[in-house]
Amino acid sequence: MIVVLLNVYLVILYCLVKLRIVPFNLFWKVSPVLVLLLLLVGLFIPMGWGAPQGTALTVRNSVAIVPNVAGEVIEVPVTANTPLKAGDVLFKIDPVPFKAKVDALQAELDLATLRLSETSRLQTTGAGRAFDTEQSQAEVDQLQAQLVGAKWDLDKTVVRAPADGYVTNLALRKGARVSSLPVAPVMAFIDTSDTIIGIEIPQINARYIEPGQPVEVTFKFMPGSVYSGKVESVLQAVATGQTRVSGTAVAPGLIQSVPVVVRIKLDDEKFAERLPAGSTGTAAIFTEHVNAAHVIRKVLLRQIAITNYVNPF
C-alpha cells in the first residue's frame, strides 16, 4: 500500500511539473523521500498499533477416546469424518462378562436381603441378636455398592461421543481388544461444539487490544471473502513465559519476543462451524487508536483476500 500511495504521489508530481504548476527545483526533487518518511512515520508505523494485523489459525479441541472398561469390540457404527451429536454411539464392547457380574451380584443381594429380613424378624421376637442384624445390613449395603459399580461398568461398554463433532483417522475395527489405560487411546474425537480462532500479534502492536474490539479476517479456505468478528480475550501466557520445574538455570536463548495470541469469535457462527481445524488466514484488529489507518488496513486485508486465490502460502 505504501508503494501504491508513493506511486500516486509521483504521478501527480509529474503532471504538476509537466503543466508547469510547480517548479522542478531541489525541494520537489527530494519531496518523494519526504513523502515516504511521512507515510512511514505518520501512518504505516502507527497503523500497527491502531489496527494490528497477524496470522489467524483455527483449532479445535481433540478428545482422546479411552474406554472405561477393557474388552473385545463387537461393533463400530461410526464413519470417519462424519458429523456426530453428543451421545451418539462410537463403538461397543462385548457386554457378556459385565452382564454376568451384574446378575451374580443381584442374586447375592437378593439372598442378603432375605437374610436381613429374617434376622430382623428374629430380633424383634427376642430370638435373634442385634449383631446378626447389623452384620446382615452391612452385607446388603456392600452388595448394593458393588452392584452400582457393576452396572456402571456394564453401561460403559457402550462408548458414546462426548460432544458434537466427528472421529478422524479411524482405525478401530470389530474384534479388536481395547483397554482402559489412559496411554492407549483408541480414537481421536474432534470436538466441533466450540470453534477456537487465534491471531498472533507482535508484542509491540498488542498494547491497545481489548475484548470486544471489531475484527476482520480472511481465510485461505475461502479466498476473496472477509468475515467480521470480535475479540474475545487476549491470552495471558505463551510457552516461552511458562516456568517449568527443572534443575537448570535460565537459558538466555529461550528469552524471545514471541507474538501474543488473541482469541476471536466470528459473527457468522455457521461459517465458523464449517471451518476445518488448521484453517489459516490473516486478521486485523481495529482498536480505538489511529482511526485514520483503519481504512488502509481494510483495503490491505481485502487485497490479501483476493491474492489468496493464487497465493498458497
The predicted-structure confidence for 50-104, as pLDDT tens digits, reads as follows 999 999 999 999 999 999 999 999 999 999 989 999 999 999 999 999 999 999 9
Indicate whether 169 belongs to any domain.
Answer: no
Nearest of 70, 99, 52 to residue 286 by alpha carbon: 52
Q: Which residue has the higher pLDDT, 38 or 135?
A: 135
Burial 219-231 (b: 16+ CB within 10 A, else e): bbbbbeebbebeb
Structure confidence at residue 98 (pLDDT): 96
- Report residue 247's pLDDT band, with 50, 70 and 90 as the boundaries: confident
Indicate whether 87 belongs to any domain.
Answer: no
Last residue of a domain, one of 113, 141, 156: 156
Average pLDDT for residues 104-109, to the nearest whole number?
A: 94
The predicted-structure confidence for 3-26, as pLDDT tens digits, reads as follows 666 566 577 766 877 777 878 777
Which three three-digit cell numbers place residue 137? 445390613
Q: Under DSSP, is residue 58 helix (H, G, I), strand (E, B) or coil?
A: strand
Contacts of residue 213, defined as CB under 8 A and 6 or more positions apart, other chains included, come to 230, 231, 285, 286, 287, 288
Indicate whether 165 belongs to any domain.
Answer: no
Indicate whether 136 belongs to any domain.
Answer: yes
Domain hosting residue 8, numbered range = 1-49
Mean pLDDT of the chain: 87
Say how many domains are in the chain: 2
Under 8 Å between Cβ of 145 and 112:
no
Q: Which residue has the higher pLDDT, 79 or 193?
A: 79
Indicate whether 112 belongs to any domain.
Answer: yes
What are the backbone angles phi and psi of residue 283, rounded to the nearest 5°?
-130, 155
Last residue of a domain, one of 28, 49, 70: 49
Nearest of 171, 115, 166, 176 to residue 142 by alpha carbon: 115
Residue 1 has pLDDT above 70, yes or no: no
Indicate whether 138 belongs to any domain.
Answer: yes
